[in-house]
Amino acid sequence: MVQIIENALTEQELTQIREFNLVEDSSVQQGRKYRNKTLKNDSIDQLSNPVAAFVVEKVKKMIPENHEVCDMVLHTTEQGMQIHSDGNINKKDHKAVLFPINVEGEGAGTIFFDNHYLGEGPMVFAKKNPWGGSNKNKDPKNSKKRNVTADYSVLTNYKETANINEVHKKHLGHIPAENSNGLTIEKIYKWKPGQAVIFDSTQLHCATNHTGYKTACTVFTRRID
């Protein structure tokens, strides 16, 4: 179940994260319409950075005690993310915490579906190729470079007759209508900097239509036995 936390970050903390995100270093991956800054909790322990550290401490108070933080990603984009699940390594229960950091333009949000993928992720669900072009590796039925599947039967709560046509018209213009058929919605969340959103990494979600760039800080956790 999606959980919204009010006042998770102060304005001062948001400013610190925004400034930290602008620092160019080896953790940054720059694309044509996106920029990722990824910090991993590995032998280098990039999460020991002072800004990352205070975000991690906040997350630890939000998630169950039997979870630990593994990655933190600052993601800036003007592209709408397709329908996908996040990481689910070894099919363990994972939690993710999303912090909206910066919003330009209109419409920034996330749709959380009442459908879960319990296999190993991340996984994009697309009956129809949402990227266009002729690259066969972007075809849901023939994907090697991208974790994409057109098999929705592996989802929980999938119903072939279900449709979200009205929601699709309003919020999902960047996603082929076929790709949302059979899914049901738990929550449509409008981004608000300062809030936090906790959800299961197995839960399908996607971006709403938006204009301009937006930045989020997402912290991924995993269950420890």
Closest CA to 218 of 41, 66, 56: 56
- The reported pLDDT for the residue numbered 94 is 85
pLDDT mean over 193-211: 95
65-100 residue pLDDT tens: 888 888 899 999 988 899 999 976 655 668 999 999
Homologous superfamily of 3-223: Jelly Rolls (2.60.120.10)
Q: Helices 11-21 and 50-62, interaxial angle, to 10°?
A: 130
Q: Which residues contact 205 (CB under 8 A, 6 or more apart)?
A: 81, 83, 84, 85, 110, 111, 112, 113, 199
Closest CA to 69 of 90, 40, 107: 40
Cα(122)–Cα(73) distance, integer angstroms = 14
122-166 residue pLDDT tens: 899 999 988 765 444 455 555 555 689 999 999 999 998 888 989
φ/ψ (deg, to 5) at 31: -115, -175
Distance from chain centroid for Cα 33: 16
- The reported pLDDT for the residue numbered 79 is 81
How big is the CA angle at 108 (ends 19 and 112), to the nearest 5 degrees? 115
Long-range contacts for 6-12 (Cβ within 8 Å, ≥24 apart)?
Answer: 6/194, 6/195, 7/194, 7/195, 8/58, 8/62, 8/99, 8/194, 8/195, 8/196, 9/58, 9/99, 9/193, 9/194, 9/196, 10/194, 11/194
Domain ranges of the chain: 3-223
> How sure is the predictor about 222, in pLDDT bands with cuts at 50, 70 and 90?
confident
pLDDT mean over 15-29: 93
pLDDT mean over 109-120: 94
User: What are residue 69's DSSP bridge partners?
Assistant: 221
Q: Which of 29-33, 108-112, 116-120 has the highest mean pLDDT?
A: 108-112
Cα(30)–Cα(21) distance, integer angstroms = 12
- 147-164 residues labelled b (16+ CB within 10 A) or e (exposed): ebbbebeebeebeeeeeb
- The reported pLDDT for the residue numbered 146 is 61
pLDDT mean over 101-105: 94
pLDDT mean over 186-203: 96
